[in-house]
Each structure stands twice: as C-alpha cells, then as structure tokens.
Amino acid sequence: MARRASVAFTISMACALARCDGGPTTVDARVTADARDALRDAADSRDVTSSQPDGFVDSATDATSGPDSAIPDSAVTDARTPPEYSHDLDGDGRTDTNLAVRACAGSSGTCLAIDSSVVRAGEVALSAMGSRCSGSVVGPTIRVIGTHAGSPLSEVAVAHCVDLRTTTPPALTVVDPDARTVVAQTIAPATQKNAWVDALRGSDDKLYPFLAPSYGDGDTSGTYGSSIWGRMCIFRAGAPAASPCGAGWIAGDTTIPSMPNWFREVGGYMQDLDGDRWEDVTLTYHSVALAISGRTGAALSALAYDVAAGMAPAFFHSGRNYGTHAASRAADGTLRTTIVAGAPVGTFDDYNCNVSRFIAVLDSRPATPSSRRLAWTRYMGFASTIFNGPFTSEFAANPASRVARPADVMHNCVHRFSDSRSVIDGVDSIVVNYFRQDAPVDPCLSLQYDLYVPPAWTEAKSTAWYSCFARNVRARGTWGMMALRESDGQSVTGGLGVYVWGRSNRLVPSGETLYLVERVSGAGFFDLSDRAPSAIAALSLVRGLFQDRGTFPGSGRPVIRQVAPSGSLGVGSYTFVAELDTQDADGDGLLDVRMRDGRWVGWDRGSNAWIVK
C-alpha cells in the first residue's frame, strides 16, 4: 500500500460550541456577546492533527494542486520511491523536493529547510524569531505556487508565526528555493494570533497565496486580538512597498463598514464572481459573506443575510456561519455557494452538532457580484436554550420562566460528507443525514442559565454545563437522509432508517454514483452506541429512490478521512471535510474503500460483487 501523506494544515476544531446567547435584546449585543464567549466554547475542542476518534484518519491535499482539485474523490496517495519527496518544483508532475519549517541551524530563528533532487539542499531564513503560534493558522503550511519571480522553478508560500514572546503574529513568506531568497513577506499586526492562508488562481493559471484575518477579528475585547486587523494581503510579485501589506503584496479591506459589530469566522473560499478570470475570495463572517477581488483586492460585495429570518427571537443564532461553504456554477451560469451548517459524518461525540444547523444557498448572476443574494434557506435547529436576559440569581430557581427559545439539543442535527453536493436524476442536489430526536436526555436548563449569572463562565460552571449536555449523545431518535434541490431547496427525496457515510462515482466500472449506506432502522441512540454496525449497502439514487447495487462483505463502518478545506470548498468554523478513505488497492482502475477493521473492500469485475481486496 502507498504511504499516506501527513496533514499539511493547522486546525484546532475550536468550533464556538455550546455557548448560548443572552435574551432577545439586540442583534449587535448578541454578536458582541458571542465574541466575548467564543473561547469558552472551545472547552472540549479536539485538535484533529494530533488525535482522532475511532474511524478517522488525517489526510492532506497535494500542495501543487489547484484550488478546484483540493478535495479529490480519491484518496491522497503517493507512489514515490526513496528518497521520498513531497513537492514538485520543476512542474514535471513528479515530486522532487522536501520542504519543512524548522529552527535555523545554529540559531533560534525560523528557516525553510530544503532537501531536493533539483536544487541544492540547505535552508532559507524566514525570521530571526522562533515560529511558535499561540493561535490558529488555518491553511497549508507550505504550498508550491508556480513561477512568479523569473526563476525556472516554482516559488513556495510558507505560513508560519513570528514569536515576539508576548505575541505571535502569523506570517506568510514567499520563497524562491532555487535562488535561496525571500521574494516577499507579510506579517499580521503584532496583536493578532489567528489567520487564514490559502491561494487563489489567477488568469495565468498561477496560484497567488494570501494571508487573511480569521476567527474573532472585529472583536475588540482582547480575546482574539487587542485591535482589529481588518485587511488581507494577496501576493503580487513586484507590487510596491507602499501597500499596507508591504512590498510584493496588494491589500484588501476586510472590515464591514455597514455593520457596527461584525465578527469574522474562520475561513472562506474561492470563486470568480466578477468574470475577470481571476478567482475572487469570499470571507465568511457572522451573517455576512464578503467578496474581495483576487485581481485588485477591491471589495466586490458584502451580503448580509439571516438564515432563520422570521423565527423568534430575532437573530437568536447570532449569524453563525459554521460548516462547509461550497462554490459552484450551475448549468445556466448561476454562481452558487452551498452552505451546510452541520457536523462531519461520524462525529457522534459532538453533542452541540455545529451549534446552529441549517442548509442554505447564496447565488449571483455571472460577472455581477452585486446581485449576490440568499436564494433560500432551511433552518434546522439550535443546540441549546435561548434565554431572555438579564441574568440574575432571582430567576436561577426557575429558569424555565426566562426561556425565549427551547433547546433543540440533538433534534435535526445535520451530518455532512464531502461538499454535500450530488446529482440525482440530472438535478443538482444537496444530500445530508439528519437526526429526528424523540426526546433529549437532559437540556440541562438550570446549569445553562447559571452559566450566565455573574460570575459567568467560571471553570466550575462550564465544566458542569458541558458534562451535563454531553450526555445527550445518548438521546433517542432515528437517523435519516434528505436530498434537497440545490436551486430552490425543495425536496428531492429522503427517508428514515439510513445513514449515508459518503459517495463516489469511481467504485464501479459504469461510473454510477454510489452512496455507502448503513441501515439504522428504528429508534436508537444518537451516537449509534446501542447497535452493532450492519453491513454497508452500496446504493444508487434513481427516480428519487435507493436502488441496490450490492452489499459489502461482513459488517463494519468505513474510515473517514479528515481533509483540509481549500479553494472552492471552504469552511466557516474549525472543522474538516469528511471523505471516504479510498484507494485503488489492487490496481484495477477502481477505488476501494478502507474499513475500520483494516479491510479494503471494492468491486470485483470477475465476480460482479463486492469483495475484500
């Protein structure tokens, strides 16, 4: 078997989890409260680069891939022979170089170490300081970006931090490994610790890396930074030093002047909105999608929207834009963003299930960013209770009297796979799992209300609340699948008693899209811990109905790869894209599926059946 590449992105899954806003006061007050408390929400966060629950593996996208190929249908594999290399600098399709960020030899500075068959081995200094990061820098650490500075070999973009001891601002450095020089460098303000890095594709097909603010920018409480960052920096070789980002960069304003209390989410995605053949960058915020021109850095549009408009109390969800954001172009040219505010398949330990759950689509006319709108939304639920404020001890004995919106707990929890998009009977569709809860274990009403009574969010109160609410992974109910038409949100198909782990059109010779489905008929625990895994069924969707295409031998669940979001598939929260772990294990041209017990299961052309490879 090929050796699997290691993870090439930094991510911490601090998903702003179980925080529940105060009463239905004002929108701005609620957003500000969310900003203050978001770090507390991460009390039970998981670092996916260091540990995974059963059935998950890390995966990395190829740093030389374009944005639109960042989430492939197949597994990330390599077929290198020793010495093993991870990057392709000369563009011949074969890896030839290893690159790593590490301490410089003989000093405390930070260097890019180079081991290569096409350039001299050595290192390039990135900073005289160490590279410790106190926040989260989300995106690829090292990425090959093409030739921008006249070298015959590609430059690389390197994300790191600058350890100033009291602060650790993120930085992005473009290096020419052949010339052993720094082409350009930009560093976030010293007060910042979170950043998003990625690369957009220009009309010349080259990648243009950028450094942008990430989670918490806009909040001035000091939780994420003592001041607002408010700009992104896009690499542009030769750009003058007059840019606020420094020489070699153009700047984009990432503030939202029309909103007095804007709050930045984690990432974003790429899509050419203005028709100039340059990918533009959409940054996600609480209730806002801000589009920045990839060519000029100018703001193209700032769309504010409410995914639960008309539901009371107004804006109870604080505009959270967690989950995946997938950009696409419809057959008629309409530009879409499909937002699935849910948790990845298999994350049965996430008792908050993305906190705010919805499915929505933004769209715009080609080359007309100002036409962007919320085309439709289906709001599914909010994990915890929304109370009317203020929070005082006099109501602690009867918190039910202060409830503005009851908790949905696990009801309508959405579990997503890949970008959630598929084609059913020729119709662009969105396919997700959802949980129909019969009753929660405990909404933990008193503990949640007490959490907000001064002194609020103490360690003891937080521990009590989280421990209580976590019991709801044993809430009883039934899992099901729903498919919605991407154009207008109308139902395509759906049903209870099934859980879809993923889909692929590379499992059988016909190229038919197959969904790998576990049958979970009847009520049971949310986390499926009360039932043994059944055999996985390979099913197609024809005329809105599942059609049997065989059953995997034996019982058991598939392994899920945790894939870094990038390019046209982005995220609003610290999360990952869930993909089946697939690989052509026997060289027959079809993908096989890795199961949790280590078996590889795939289609056998000779017997026309699923077998263990």
d(CA 508, CA 370) in angstroms, rounded, equals: 43
At residue 46, what are phi and psi to the nearest 5 degrees?
-125, 130
pLDDT in tens, 107-157: 999 999 999 999 999 999 999 999 999 999 999 999 999 999 888 999 999
pLDDT in tens, 404-423: 999 999 999 999 999 999 99
d(CA 582, CA 117) in angstroms, rounded, equals: 30
d(CA 185, CA 594) in angstroms, rounded, equals: 41
pLDDT at 224: 86
Average pLDDT of the chain, as a whole number:
88
At residue 40, what are phi and psi to the nearest 5 degrees?
-65, -30
Residue with tokens 């038919």: 512
CB 433 within 8 A of CB 340: no
Strands in 417-475 per DSSP E = 421-424, 427-439
The neighbouring-strand residues paired with 435 are: 413, 479
d(CA 342, CA 346) in angstroms, rounded, equals: 12
Q: Which long-range CB contacts under 8 A does 507-510 form with residues at least 24 apart?
A: 507/538, 507/582, 507/590, 507/591, 507/593, 507/602, 507/603, 508/538, 508/549, 508/590, 508/603, 509/590, 509/603, 509/605
Angle in degrees, CA 489, 492, 496, rounded to 5: 110
pTM: 0.89
Q: Which two tokens stand for residue 475?
A: 């809430």
CB 525 within 8 A of CB 351: no
Q: How confident is the model at residue 434 (pLDDT cuts 50, 70, 90)?
A: very high
pLDDT in tens, 347-364: 999 999 999 999 999 999
Tell me which amino acid residue 492 is: V
d(CA 571, CA 13) in angstroms, rounded, equals: 11
Q: Which two tokens stand for residue 554?
A: 């034996």
d(CA 149, CA 160) in angstroms, rounded, equals: 21
pLDDT in tens, 252-262: 999 999 998 99
Tell me which amino acid residue 13 is: M
pLDDT in tens, 371-385: 999 999 999 999 999
CB 242 within 8 A of CB 305: no
Greater pLDDT, 2 or 335: 335
pLDDT at 260: 86
Lowest-confidence region among 53-57, 132-136, 227-231, 246-250: 53-57
Helix H or strand E segment including 36: helix 27-41
pLDDT at 41: 32
d(CA 252, CA 231) in angstroms, rounded, equals: 5
Distance from the Cα of residue 507 to its chain's centroid: 26
CB 272 within 8 A of CB 279: yes
pLDDT at 26: 22
Beta carbons within 10 angstroms of residue 113's beta carbon: 16
Rounded average pLDDT over 28-42: 28
Strands 577-580 and 560-563 come out as antiparallel
d(CA 289, CA 363) in angstroms, rounded, equals: 11
Closest CA relative to residue 17, chosen from 38, 48, 35: 38
Q: What is the per-residue burial (b if ≥16 Cβ within 10 Å, else e) of 156-174?
A: bbbbbbbbeeebbbbbbbb
Half-sphere exposure of 563 (CA within 13 A, CB side): 30
d(CA 582, CA 2) in angstroms, rounded, equals: 12
Dihedral sign, Cα of residue 355, residue 360, residue 364, residue 366: positive
Closest CA relative to residue 311, chosen from 214, 380, 414, 399: 380
The neighbouring-strand residues paired with 264 are: 285
CB 43 within 8 A of CB 494: no
Lowest-confidence region among 30-44, 77-91, 209-223, 504-518: 30-44
pLDDT at 53: 54
pLDDT in tens, 529-575: 999 999 999 999 999 999 999 999 999 999 999 999 999 999 999 99
Q: Which two tokens stand for residue 137?
A: 């820098």
Beta carbons within 10 angstroms of residue 216's beta carbon: 25
How much helix, strand and coil, in percent to the nearest 5, is found in the chain?
Answer: 10, 40, 55
pLDDT at 74: 28
pLDDT at 223: 85
Q: Which long-range CB contacts under 8 A does 518-522 form with residues at least 24 apart?
A: 518/557, 520/478, 520/479, 521/496, 521/497, 522/478, 522/497
Helix H or strand E segment including 467: helix 459-469
Query: How many residues are there in the chain?
Result: 613
Q: Which two tokens stand for residue 423?
A: 């084609």
pLDDT in tens, 183-220: 999 999 999 999 999 999 999 999 999 999 999 999 98
pLDDT at 7: 28
Q: What is the 3-state secondary structure (H, E, C) of 272-332?
A: CCCCCCCCEEEEEECCEEEEECCCCCCEEEEEECCCCCCCCCCCCCCCCCCCEEEEEECCC
pLDDT at 58: 66
278 pLDDT above the threshold of 50: yes
Q: Which two tokens stand for residue 454?
A: 């001064």
Rounded average pLDDT over 31-56: 35
Rounded average pLDDT over 75-85: 49
CB 229 within 8 A of CB 213: yes
pLDDT at 67: 25
pLDDT at 54: 67
Tell me which amino acid residue 366 is: P
- Where residue 475 falls (left for φ over 0; alpha for ψ -120 to 50; beta otherwise) is beta
Closest CA relative to residue 173, chosen from 253, 111, 89: 111
Helix H or strand E segment including 5: none
Dihedral sign, Cα of residue 135, residue 138, residue 141, residue 147: negative
